[in-house]
Amino acid sequence: MYSLSTSTSTTIYVGNIQSIKDEQLREYFQRFGNIEALYHNCTRAADEWLIDYRFIRFSSDTDMNIFFKNKIDHIICRIVLDIHPYEAAFRDETRLMLDRKICIAHTDSKLNRNAIKKSFTRYGRILNCICTSSGNGVEHAYIEFESVNSIQSVFTPGQRYFAGRTSLAVKKPLKPSEAGVKIESISIDEKSSRSTSISKHSYCRPRLNSNVETAQYSSFLVNHHNRIIENEFRTSTLIPNQLLDLSSESQHRISSPFNIQQSDNNIESSLTSSLIQTRDKNKI
């Protein structure tokens, strides 16, 4: 006999939370039942800026129908949350709000929201743009498009991303299936024997408000992006510059008065030497 473990049957996926603190999520959802855990399954601290969701596990006596049968919007700070059953969040056919989002990293603290938004309007209608700061020199922005087709356009091969003169590193947000380990459906008989192993490998540390490793990784993306552009520019201008140098050198040799005078002196010396040799022969 197989059934979902208690922890997954009372666990929900909550998306669109990038600008919402964990404390705010806990305060809002505790009205629906006792919260046992609030977490994400990302296994790399450097990828936390790409995580736009949390899992909330309620106690076993919580009525979960309040989330899935009652069709109401759950809103925090005017932000509509994206709520799904735990298992559904791992299925490819489930449409998550993050499927229409992109994550942006840059190092220009003066770059504002409107400038970033303007840079991506060519890809489609933008519903929302949220900017956050890591506090470690790296800025993040999250754009939500109206259509998932816009995401495909953004990540067309060969794209370069700029807001004014600022280079942007752009990535897709990570889905739960891409970020880390999923709690599987297990046999009730196996539940007790595997519970320790599941707890050990299925949860990662909670989000840090100021993550140095995340900031360093985001900065690396931006710097790497800049180096690629500089190398391409240097390669594309290398041959023209070489030709320009050769042309300049040739022109210098031809047009320089010093070179002309030096050439005349060489000719004069050659003529003088020939005349002397001819005179010596005549004497003999």
Asked if 1-96+175-208 and 97-174+211-257 have one fold, the answer is: yes
Which of helix, strand or coil describes residue 61?
A: coil
Structural contact between residues 181 and 55, judged by C-beta atoms closer than 8 angstroms: no
1-6: Cβ within 8 A, 24+ apart: 1/187, 1/188, 1/189, 2/185, 2/186, 2/187, 2/188, 3/185, 3/188, 4/87, 4/185, 5/183, 5/185, 5/186, 5/191, 5/195, 5/198, 6/60
Where do the domains of the chain lie?
Answer: 1-96+175-208, 97-174+211-257
CATH among 3.30.70.330, 2.60.40.10, 3.30.565.10, 3.40.50.2300 for 97-174+211-257: 3.30.70.330
The predicted structure's pLDDT at residue 215:
54
The predicted structure's pLDDT at residue 254:
39
Q: Distance of CA 7 to CAs 16, 91, 110, 196, Å?
A: 22, 18, 44, 13
Residue with tokens 């807001």: 163
CATH among 3.40.50.1820, 3.40.50.720, 3.30.565.10, 3.30.70.330 for 1-96+175-208: 3.30.70.330
The predicted structure's pLDDT at residue 239:
46
Could you tell me the pTM of the whole model? Answer: 0.66
Per-residue pLDDT 10s for the chain (284 aa) are 333 455 789 999 999 999 999 999 999 999 999 999 999 999 888 999 999 999 999 999 999 988 988 778 999 999 999 999 999 999 999 999 999 999 999 999 999 999 999 999 999 999 999 999 888 889 999 999 999 999 999 999 999 999 999 999 999 999 999 987 765 543 334 444 444 333 333 344 444 443 445 555 555 566 655 565 556 555 544 544 554 454 444 444 434 444 444 444 554 555 455 545 555 555 54
